[in-house]
Amino acid sequence: MSAIDIIIVVILGLGTYEGYRKGFLLGVLGLFGFVIAVILGLYFMAPMNDWLAENVTEFNLGFPIFGFIVVFVLTLLFIKIAGWILKQVMDMVLLGPLDAIVGALFGAVKAAFFISLFFWQASLFKLEMPKKWTKDSEMLYFIEPIAPAIVAAIEPFFPSIEESLKKLEEVVEKIKDATTD
């Protein structure tokens, strides 16, 4: 087992514990909210970039990233408030240990998604892990394709995701070019 596998196991363990603590329903809402926040962040990244370009003159290379972060955070905040309201309603209904056990399983899946998303986004920014860290990994190759597969499954409902990812890659190239000049 490589060092990266140990890190993955620790993160999966923490995700399992967190899922057990929160329960299944809030875990689903949290993951759904995160996925929606990423999709909306990518979808509205270009319009936010255009708005920032018209209204702000400094740091124009970072507009797409800043636009993504603003939309992402606002979406997560809205979903967090909805989750809090749902939690208040759920406290009235006792779902018991089943919710916690299924929540633990879901927490592990959710942690795997986040790990996959991290590696996927890092690869979009051309940030690769050293080969000596990943070559002996037994878990990484099972984890990595999770986020791209979920986005590919959702993409028919949000056709501009691929276009937004291409724009993000263009921004990364511009930033790299600006830093090398």
Joined tokens for residue 118: 């991290």
pLDDT (tens digit per residue) in 25-48: 788 888 788 888 888 887 777 777
Q: What's this model's pTM, rounded to 2 decimal places?
A: 0.60
Cα–Cα distance for residue pair 64/165, rounded to 1 Å: 11
Q: Which residue has the higher pLDDT, 32 or 15?
A: 15
Q: What is the pLDDT of residue 79?
A: 87
CA distances from 51 to 24, 76, 106 (A): 39, 21, 38
Helix axes 96-124 and 161-180, enclosed angle (nearest 10)? 50
Q: What is the pLDDT of residue 122?
A: 83
